[in-house]
A and B are shown apart, each in its own frame.
Chain A
Amino acid sequence: QKEVEQNSGPLSVPEGAIASLNCTYSDRGSQSFFWYRQYSGKSPELIMSIYSNGDKEDGRFTAQLNKASQYVSLLIRDSQPSDSATYLCAGGGGNQGGKLIFGQGTELSVKP
């Protein structure tokens, strides 16, 4: 079992729709979770961090964390073609110590 798992996609949504990206993790001690966006040929860019159960909103982005279910999600409202990228989920703390463990990423395509 991978430590952080994501569906690789691709996930395709129409412009203006809500995109829902999901991630599960195996280390119950993980304390911090991050979502990164990576455009093709570029490096990962941090878009959200979440540390507590519940929702955290930042503009069109909402991160959700459920530690009991070991589940993290990212919702993108009013999706735009410029949101088309690979979204990486990462977890840290617990057995991971000071490093982050990344999932394989979910490719999102937003169609005009």
Chain B
Amino acid sequence: DTGVSQDPRHKITKRGQNVTFRCDPISEHNRLYWYRQTLGQGPEFLTYFQNEAQLEKSRLLSDRFSAERPKGSFSTLEIQRTEQGDSAMYLCASSNTGELFFGEGSRLTVL
């Protein structure tokens, strides 16, 4: 399968813990995006990379969130000191042409 892969698919954590999600994009895609989605809402942009460069980060994004794409291939999204409001589906997408192709998402539940 050469689609976008995300890991883990589900994560349950206690408030205050750190969590990290990994995304492997479609191999020939140079752009990688992170979005967050809560129930009944559309995906909310978090950040995106072109190759290894982080080109944009949402102004709404807390400094507890950090993303990396060190070699321009896979990416990680880390959330430090999680809060209950961080509970959501974290979606990764990749692109070459403007059309985004999403992975299956990583669902985070913060207790």
Contact = CB atoms under 8 A, between A and B. Distances in A.
Contacts of A92: 98
Interface stretch (A40-48, A52-60, A62-70, A74-82): A40-48
A44 B33 contact: no
Contact of A45 (B42, B102, B105): B102
Contacts, number: 54
Given A8-B40, A104-B42, A98 B31 contact: yes
A4 B44 CA distance: 12
Given A88-B43, A98-B55, A99-B48, A44 B99 contact: no
A60 to B, nearest CB: 20
Interface of B: 31, 33, 35, 40-45, 48, 50, 55-56, 89, 91, 98-105
Interface of B is mostly: strand
A51 B43 CA distance: 21
A44 B61 CA distance: 22
A93 B91 CA distance: 20
Interface residues of A, number: 24
A99 B56 contact: yes
Given A97-B56, A102-B42, A102-B43, A46 B50 contact: no
A2 B67 CA distance: 26
Give the residue among B89, B102, B103, B105 with the most A Cβ atoms within 10 A. Answer: B102
Contacts of B101: 46
A101 interface: yes
B40 A100 contact: no
Nearest to A97: B56
A93 B50 CA distance: 15
A104 B41 contact: yes
Contact of B105 (A32, A43, A46, A105): A43
Contacts of A98: 31, 48, 50, 55-56
Contact of A43 (B31, B44, B56, B104): B104
A22 interface: no
A105 B99 CA distance: 18
Given A32-B98, A104-B42, A44 B91 contact: yes
